[in-house]
Amino acid sequence: MDENKWHYVIMYLTFFSLGMITTAIAITQGFFQEFIFVLLAGVLFLVFSLAYHYVRGIDYMEEFHPDYKGEDMYDEGETKSKL
């Protein structure tokens, strides 16, 4: 693995560890319901944010590249057999 991949592995493991520690503290201190509420609100925010940016990307492609059909993505325009 190169250095950049190790950076992301360490970053994800750190976030996972911090999440586990935060969950354990929330359970032991009695803040579990509030923690679940914040967690669900964060997940909903991420889902709506992804949906919004996805639709904006589709609108951008439709406005600035109306003739693009996506056929070159998987070589659909070429012949199927190359033998």
Separation of alpha carbons 23 and 21, rounded Å: 5
Of 12, 17, 19, the closest CA to residue 35 belongs to 19
Q: State pTM to two decimals.
A: 0.54
Longest alpha-carbon distance in the chain? 67
Token pair 């909903």 in the structure block, residue: 44
Instruction: Copy the structure tokens of residue 17.
Output: 């560890």
- Evaluate whether 25 touches 12 at the Cβ level (below 8 Å): no
- Evaluate whether 46 touches 39 at the Cβ level (below 8 Å): no
Report the pLDDT value the prediction gives residue 6, as an integer from 0 to 100. 79
| Per-residue confidence band for 25, with pLDDT thresholds at 50, 70 and 90 | confident
